[in-house]
Amino acid sequence: MIQTTYFKTKKVCKVKFSFNGALAEKVELFGLNNDWQTPVVMTRKKDGSFAAEVSLPNNSKQEFRYLINGTDWVNEPDTEQSWNEYGTTNSVINL
């Protein structure tokens, strides 16, 4: 799940990413700002879900994927999808 908060005086949007993965031990978020090398490590919450908050530029298109336990790539189901160079899809949010 994704929640966005826009600020009238800032050129960034606060984006909260949530991932519900019952079998996940570690969830990382890749691709924001076109950075596929440096993950955003998501924090496990008491209910077992994972969350991360990131500030991203307004009026930007962000492609991303979740990496579960270092092996399984997963998309956010409630977002637009875009084909990537590997023949799979990335999640897309437009801010």
Residues 34-49, buried b or exposed e (16+ Cβ, 10 A)?
eeeeebbebeeeeeeb
Strand partners, 11: none
Three-state DSSP state, 32: helix
Q: Tens of pLDDT along the chain (95 residues)?
A: 899 989 888 899 999 999 998 789 999 999 999 899 999 999 999 999 999 999 999 999 999 999 999 999 999 988 999 999 999 999 999 99
Helix (H, G, I), strand (E, B) or coil at 26: coil
Q: Identify any residues that bridge with 57 across adjacent strands, giving them in sequence order.
A: 12
Identify how many contiguous H helices and E strands the chain contains and give both numbers: 0, 10
pLDDT at residue 23, rounded to an integer: 82
Q: Which domains does the chain have, with CATH numbers?
A: 2-94 (2.60.40.10)
State the CB neighbour count (10 A cutoff) for residue 54: 16
- What pLDDT is stored for residue 22 in this prediction? 75
